[in-house]
Amino acid sequence: MLRLPLVSIIFSLCSLQSILTAQEDPETIGISTNTVILNAYITDRAGKPVRELPRNLFTILENGVEQKITFFEAQSTPFAVAILLDSSGSMEERIVLARAAALHFLDSLRARDVAAVYTFDSKIREIRGFDLGRDLPESFYDVRSRGMTVLYDAIVRAASELERRPEKRRAILVLSDGADTQSGASQDKALKAASKADAVIYCVDMSPAGTLGGPSQLNQRALKELSEKTGGQYTRSSGGFEMREAFQRIADELGTQYTLAYDPTDEKMDGKWRSIELKIRRPNLNIRTRRGYFAVKR
């Protein structure tokens, strides 16, 4: 009779347990390098979130071609968010409001949600990594406005960090007046980085009230495009109760999204933009999700 060493038996049992756990846990269902993940926020005509829609009502089209849904999650699951706080010179009068807003958002997170916090001016600084809760180092309260603005570089940095996270729901929350003045990366590169990380961008425009037209209008358009193309939302608010409500809505939305995934029938990673359309066979619903993605290797 063959006798195995005790260590080998324990190792074998642990390996078997890992396999069984992976089979039972929907969060570990295989995601290939080309898998596209959609996080969709569904509301009714009154703007209230619609929950518990079954998988068979959903259809995904890529460039007009129907795709097979390989993953579907309708439950409230943890998310990872990178908060980008503009600390450039143009934010001088609003930096205190921006710090307070970031704190309020951290207060809105649930027990298993994680958030990283960065500031950006001429440089990008990590205030804290992806941690639970609202605790922040003293350096956060010493943030002062200074220098130029590397908004797009900050988005690329956040997307790169999020890409390594295990959570399928990922977001970038930008608090800024929108004026990028010194990034090495373009807006297009920032969008590609967010697309590659399957991250939704939410932009809170903190430009002063009454600043319309000219450069300010271009800045606002840039923030709107970042949000809309990734399936997020643009909000304009210079502070106060309106901003606190906006942050609460974003936190609630991230916790009540539907997560879907598919492996594209077109397997060519040619770097081109591919449009995505999500349909639901139920009338009078509003669907907000990413508009598409760039087909790049991950």
pLDDT tens profile 147-198 = 999 999 999 999 999 999 999 899 999 999 877 899 999 999 999 999 999 9
Contact between residue 205 and residue 85 where contact means Cβ atoms under 8 Å apart: no
Predicted confidence (pLDDT) at residue 27 exceeds the cutoff of 90: no
Specify the residue for token string 């703007």.
47
What pTM was computed for the model?
0.83
Q: What is the pLDDT of residues 233-254, one digit of tens each?
A: 998 876 667 777 888 888 888 8
Cα(239)–Cα(16) distance, integer angstroms: 54
pLDDT at 74: 86
Q: What is the spatial distance between Cα 281 and Cα 204, in angstroms, rounded to a whole number?
A: 32
DSSP annotation of 166 = S
Could you read off the pLDDT of 28-56 as tens digits, one per residue? 334 456 899 999 999 999 999 999 999 99
Q: What does the pLDDT read at residue 174?
A: 95
pLDDT at residue 211, as a whole number: 55
Average pLDDT score over residue span 82-95? 90
Residue 65, pLDDT > 90, answer: yes
Most confident of the following: 173-182, 214-223, 257-266: 257-266
pLDDT at 281: 96
Q: What is the pLDDT of residues 271-292, one digit of tens each?
A: 899 999 999 999 999 999 999 9
Cα–Cα separations (whole angstroms), residue 68 to 51, 91, 261, 262, 264:
22, 46, 9, 6, 8
The token duo for 156 is: 């690329």
Q: What is the pLDDT of residue 179?
A: 76
Tell me the C-alpha distance between 3 and 182, whole Å.
67
pLDDT at residue 116, rounded to an integer: 97
